[in-house]
Amino acid sequence: MPITLDELVAKLTKRPLPALAVTVQRVKQLLDDPNTSNQDLQAVIGLDPGFTLEIYRRFWSASGDRRGPVSNIAHAISLLGPAVVKDAANVLPVLDKTLPESTQSGIYHCYSRAIHAAIYAQEIGEQRGDKNPDEMGHAALLYNCAEMALWTYAGKAMQKINIMVIKGADYGSASRSTLGFTLEELTAELARVWHICPLITEIMERAWHSQSRPMAVVLASAMARASSMGWYSSETNDLFEFLADFRRQSKERIVAHFHSQAADIARKLLGIPLPTSIFSLLQQIPEPVSEPSVTEKKADTKPAAKKAAKITAAQPAKQPQRPAKTVPQRESEKPPQAKSPVPPVQKVTPEPVPKPVQKAVAQILDKVVKEPVTEPTPPVVKPQPEKPSSPTMPPATPEPSPEPAAKGQEMEEQQVAAKPQREKPPTPITPTPTSKQEPKPAVESQRKVKKRVLVALPNEWKEVLVKFMRNLRDELGLKRIMFAMLSPDQKQAGVSHLIGADTNSRLRRFSINVEEKNLFNILLSRQQGFWLKPDNQEKFLPMIPEEVVGSMDTSGFFCMSIFVRNKPVGFIYADGKKAMNEECYTQFKQLCASLGSDLRRTKQ
């Protein structure tokens, strides 16, 4: 018989999360030092999910009538006293001694992601000038406390969920099919019972705008999870774009900053048996070429000057036992001996051509991809080396036939052909590389589809929208409610405020081009409402672009354009199966119409 949410919460609340052995040891050392401050203890405990949770639990269980909020661990320790911290260090289970081997990997990765997320969130808070960035770090550290508890005490269930996610399911559906409820629902209940920092409760309510503290915690946690899988995935790229908009910095600067932070975290976790994301970043670099069979054939036709430079540079590494033959002068004095260059050409990568790199890497290294991909076979041309003038160019452009240039040619002929090779940009049009040029438009088109826009909501509108969306949820029973705001150039619309959606919901990345002819383009032409229902699905579903239709509830939703001072500013989207009826739709349109009036009265 499947266990209910309340029953599982009752079991998990009685069991603490294990602490890292190095944390327990370090805390005991600090407590023995009379000069230790609460901030010193927080710096160590704040990077351990198990110990952090224990401090919050003991604070709220120490006194039944204590209800004052604690801002961070140092604040809680000052109220608890060092004796309570010492007792926690003595009784907490140690991570690497309590778990079976089958679940150790899962909890280690979970703790590692939590530590990465905590450091990311705290740094975001410091960069934004937050009054309490430590609280943001602790919230990110315990944001996935349900997942940690399940890995510790219900490892088989988490293994099943993990397998489903690897096969393509999202965490919400995978956990619901396995447990009967989602991990977010379990986290919300555990946060309520354990009295974890109030910021987590605010996150679980999901009533926060795009520039809020909870949003920073969610982004930090999402980045920690995505980067643990790989730094060059489409999900990580989307998060970089969101963070660039959220922190109002360039994407290149955000990418470099997170790479640097990952390296700093790896240094902090040195000696601790936890995986770090920096290794997934390093593992992507040495794999730019994976198809040597095609490139090696063309490597023989490359200019001999480039070949000789690479061969002579590679020989000392290949043959360290014979350093006498690595002198560049002697190699260059023997051009007729073509035997020595041949074997190294096949072993050494001819040019750093990142053409076969995964699609995600190709997006980042697009400039590098474009040039070496179309590398035509050099024609058989014998221009005069003493006269490198324009008359040598016409024979190169026609390219009568791509005969192998390496067939029976000496090194001297290839050196002569090297200069014209560099100076002939018109030659990429050849039959051979056409098949390799085809993926280029696909990469570019994918980039256009994946390009998200995150439109910042004016501060004057936030309070009005929060009240409006809560009315829709409480009075009409709508579940997910989103305000998609137009960009300043009126070309795109992106999510600016959203409530009711899961953390991993695709609706949080909603972005659409309203210049193209589609349902939302028509909706924004005047103030009007729309209701997608079974009667009109066949007619209107094809009018919704593919990149956003998957984020919507296609069984039914309400939508209405919002106008302020006779100009469109965006539209409201709302879904919820129980509210899909005529009465709710009429009230929905009335409330949306009043929203435009309320926004008009605010100062921009």
> To 10 degrees, the CA torsion angle through 429, 432, 434, 439?
-130
**Neighbouring residues of 438: CB distance < 8 A, sequence distance ≥ 6:** none
Closest among 470, 455, 459 to 207, alpha carbons compared: 470
Q: Which two tokens stand for residue 370?
A: 């474009």
**Number of domains within the chain:** 3
> To 10 degrees, the CA torsion angle through 549, 550, 553, 559?
-30
pLDDT in tens, 167-211: 878 888 888 889 988 888 888 888 888 877 777 777 776 655 555
Closest among 183, 108, 146, 143 to 12, alpha carbons compared: 146
Residues 183 and 34 in one domain: yes
Q: Look at residue 341 and tell me if it is in a domain.
A: no
Closest among 149, 499, 95, 68 to 273, alpha carbons compared: 95
Query: Do the beta carbons of residue 411 and residue 308 sit within 8 Å?
Result: yes
Query: Do the beta carbons of residue 506 and residue 551 sit within 8 Å?
Result: yes
Q: Which long-range contacts (CB under 8 A, 24 or more apart) does 316-323 make?
A: 318/344, 318/347
Q: Look at residue 139 and tell me if it is in a domain.
A: yes
pLDDT in tens, 37-64: 998 999 999 999 999 999 988 887 775 5
Phi-psi category of residue 271: left, alpha or beta, with phi > 0 → left and psi -120 to 50 → alpha: left
Q: Look at residue 302 and tell me if it is in a domain.
A: no
Q: Look at residue 319 and tell me if it is in a domain.
A: no
Residues 47 and 177 in one domain: yes
Looking at residue 177, which CATH number applies to its domain?
A: 1.10.3210.10
Q: What percent of the chain has pLDDT over 90?
A: 21
The residues with which 23 forms a beta bridge, in sequence order, are none
pLDDT in tens, 357-385: 344 434 443 433 343 433 334 444 444 44
Residues 249 and 366 in one domain: no
Q: Which two tokens stand for residue 515?
A: 């210049």
- Distance between CA atoms of 160 and 156, rounded to whole angstroms? 6
Of the residues 398, 426, 451, the one at which a domain ends: 451
Q: Is the pLDDT of residue 73 over 80?
A: yes
Q: In degrees, to the nearest 5, what angle opens at C-alpha 519 toward C-alphas 518 and 520?
A: 95
Q: Look at residue 317 and tell me if it is in a domain.
A: no
- Quote the pLDDT of residue 390: 41
**Neighbouring residues of 36: CB distance < 8 A, sequence distance ≥ 6:** 30
The amino acid occupying position 218 is: V
Of the residues 251, 282, 313, the one at which a domain ends: 282
- Quote the pLDDT of residue 69: 66
Query: Do the beta carbons of residue 51 and residue 92 sit within 8 Å?
Result: yes
- Quote the pLDDT of residue 230: 85
The position carrying tokens 């009409």 is 476
- Distance between CA atoms of 558 and 531, rounded to whole angstroms? 5
pTM exceeding the 0.75 threshold for the entire prediction = no
Q: CA separation (Å) from 436 to 71, 168, 205, 356, 571?
A: 57, 29, 49, 10, 43
Closest among 56, 53, 145, 58 to 107, alpha carbons compared: 145
Residues 511 and 444 in one domain: no
Residues 443 and 543 in one domain: no
pLDDT in tens, 237-287: 888 988 888 888 899 999 999 999 999 999 888 878 888 888 777 764 444
- Quote the pLDDT of residue 92: 92
- Quote the pLDDT of residue 454: 61
Q: Look at residue 188 and tell me if it is in a domain.
A: yes
Q: What is the mean pLDDT of the chain?
A: 74
Q: Look at residue 102 and tell me if it is in a domain.
A: yes
- Quote the pLDDT of residue 451: 55
**Neighbouring residues of 497: CB distance < 8 A, sequence distance ≥ 6:** 209, 210, 457, 462, 465, 466, 469, 482, 483
- Quote the pLDDT of residue 483: 93
Residues 199 and 147 in one domain: yes
Residues 278 and 366 in one domain: no
Average pLDDT of span 283-298: 45
The range of the structural domain enclosing residue 466 comes to: 459-601
Rg (C-alpha) for the chain, rounded Å, is 31
Max Cα separation, the chain?
Answer: 95
Q: Which three-class secondary structure string do you get for 430-498?
A: CCCCHHHHCHHHHHHHHHHHHCCCCCCCCHHHHHHHHHHHHHHHHHHCCCEEEEEEECCCCCEEEEEEE
126-130, 327-331, 347-351, 518-522: which is most confident:
518-522
Residues 361 and 278 in one domain: no
Query: Do the beta carbons of residue 135 and residue 73 sit within 8 Å?
Result: no
pLDDT in tens, 212-221: 788 889 899 9
Residues 444 and 506 in one domain: no
Q: Is the pLDDT of residue 395 over 50?
A: no
- Quote the pLDDT of residue 166: 81
Of the residues 282, 307, 331, the one at which a domain ends: 282
Q: Is the pLDDT of residue 127 over 50?
A: yes
Q: Which two tokens stand for residue 379?
A: 């024609």
Average pLDDT of span 588-595: 90
- Quote the pLDDT of residue 598: 85
Average pLDDT of span 99-106: 76
Query: Do the beta carbons of residue 224 and residue 204 sit within 8 Å?
Result: no
- Quote the pLDDT of residue 386: 45
The residues with which 141 forms a beta bridge, in sequence order, are none
Residues 447 and 490 in one domain: no
Residues 112 and 256 in one domain: yes
**Neighbouring residues of 185: CB distance < 8 A, sequence distance ≥ 6:** 5
Q: What percent of the chain has pLDDT over 70?
A: 67
Average pLDDT of span 321-341: 44
Q: Is the pLDDT of residue 297 over 90?
A: no
SS3 313: helix
Q: How confident is the model at residue 481 (pLDDT cuts 50, 70, 90)?
A: very high
Q: How many CB atoms are located within 10 Å of the residue 568 CB?
A: 20
Q: How confident is the model at residue 571 (pLDDT cuts 50, 70, 90)?
A: very high
The position carrying tokens 């995986």 is 275
Closest among 381, 369, 308 to 341, alpha carbons compared: 308
Closest among 390, 434, 421, 460 to 601, alpha carbons compared: 460
26-30, 330-334, 364-368, 440-444: which is most confident:
26-30
Residues 525 and 444 in one domain: no
Alpha helices in 196-341 (DSSP H): 198-205, 213-229, 234-247, 251-268, 278-283, 292-299, 304-318, 328-332
Average pLDDT of span 123-152: 89
Q: Look at residue 186 and tell me if it is in a domain.
A: yes
Looking at residue 525, which CATH number applies to its domain?
A: 3.30.450.40
